[in-house]
Structure 1
Amino acid sequence: MIIDNSLLDEVSEKAKASERLRMNFNLHDSLDAKAQRLLNALEIGTILPIHRHRNTAETYILLRGKIRVMFYNEMGAETESFLLAPLNGNYGVHVPIGQWHTLEVLEQGSVVFEVKDGPYIPFQPEDILY
């Protein structure tokens, strides 16, 4: 499989049609895989709660578009912000294990390549910061 504009367009169209305004395209074989590798197409207005992964770090590489990734402390105060825009030379960010974070989509058709350790574990209430 090649990861090209055609594939990114296809996943982005599914994100636009999704109620959540985002869509995954998994590159791993199962949710139990030790490495979770995926494309995540994100549209303006998608809501990703401030959350953490207690068992894995996470890396985002932005393939196209523009997003802002924000880090938070335990009290919910923003501590760092990273503007990712490949056309400006800012390609990705590494999110350390346990780091509270979220993102904001700034450009339609944004697509992130994500990598984190598996297996997939859905958010637990204690892993979402309100």
Structure 2
Amino acid sequence: MLINEQLLDEVTAKAKTSERLRINFNLHDSLEAKAQRLLNALEPGTVLPIHRHRDTAETYIVLRGSMKVLFYNDKKELTGESIIDPKQKEYGIHLPAGQWHTLEVLEPNTVLFEVKDGPYIPFSKEDILE
């Protein structure tokens, strides 16, 4: 499968019509796969709770658009942030396992390539910082 502008446009179109303003396009064969590889198309206004992945690190590479990744501690205090914007030569970020984080989409048509260890595990209450 070729990852090109046409594919990014198709995934972005689905994100724009999604109630959540984001959509995953999985590149892995199943939710049980040991490596979860996906395109994640996100639009400004999408809401992603502050969360963590206790057992896996996570890597984002922004293919187009830009986003801000925000880091928190256990007390829900902001501890840092990074803007990922290929136009500014900031291409991606690697988050260690257990890091509380969320993101803010800064531009329409943002698409990132995301990788984390599998299998897919939905968020549990302990992994969302409310």
| Pairwise TM-score range, normalised by the shorter structure | over 0.9
- Equivalent residue number for residue 97 of structure 1: 97
- Equivalent residue number for residue 78 of structure 1: 78
Could you give the per-residue CA deviations for residues 19-49 of structure 1, whole angstroms, max 9, x where no partner exists? 0000000000000000000000000000000
Matching residue's letter, 1:37: R
| In 2: Cα distance, 1:109 partner to 1:75 partner | 33
Q: Return the offset for 1:66.
A: 0.9
| In 2: Cα distance, 1:14 partner to 1:114 partner | 17
After TM superposition, list the pairs within 5 Å mapping 1:51-70 onto structure 2: 51-70=51-70
Could you give the per-residue CA deviations for residues 45-71 of structure 1, whole angstroms, max 9, x where no partner exists? 000000000110000000000100011
| In 1: Cα distance, 2:5 partner to 2:126 partner | 38
| In 2: Cα distance, 1:96 partner to 1:118 partner | 15
| In 1: Cα distance, 2:5 partner to 2:11 partner | 10
Matching residue's letter, 1:88: Q
SS at match of 2:15: helix
How many residues are paired up? Answer: 130
* Structure 2 alignment gaps of length 5 or more: none
SS at match of 2:60: strand
- Equivalent residue number for residue 36 of structure 1: 36
Q: Return the offset for 1:87.
A: 0.8
Could you give the per-residue CA deviations for residues 103-127 of structure 1, whole angstroms, max 9, x where no partner exists? 0000000001000000000000010
RMSD (Å), alpha carbons: 0.4
Matching residue's letter, 2:84: L
Q: Return the offset for 1:4.
A: 0.5
How high is the TM-score relative to the length of structure 1?
0.99
| Ranges of 4+ aligned residues in structure 1 off by more than 3 Å | none
Q: Return the offset for 1:79.
A: 0.7
How high is the TM-score relative to the length of structure 2?
0.99
Q: Return the offset for 1:80.
A: 1.1
SS at match of 2:112: strand
| In 2: Cα distance, 1:21 partner to 1:52 partner | 21
Could you give the per-residue CA deviations for residues 76-105 of structure 1, whole angstroms, max 9, x where no partner exists? 011110001101100001010000000000
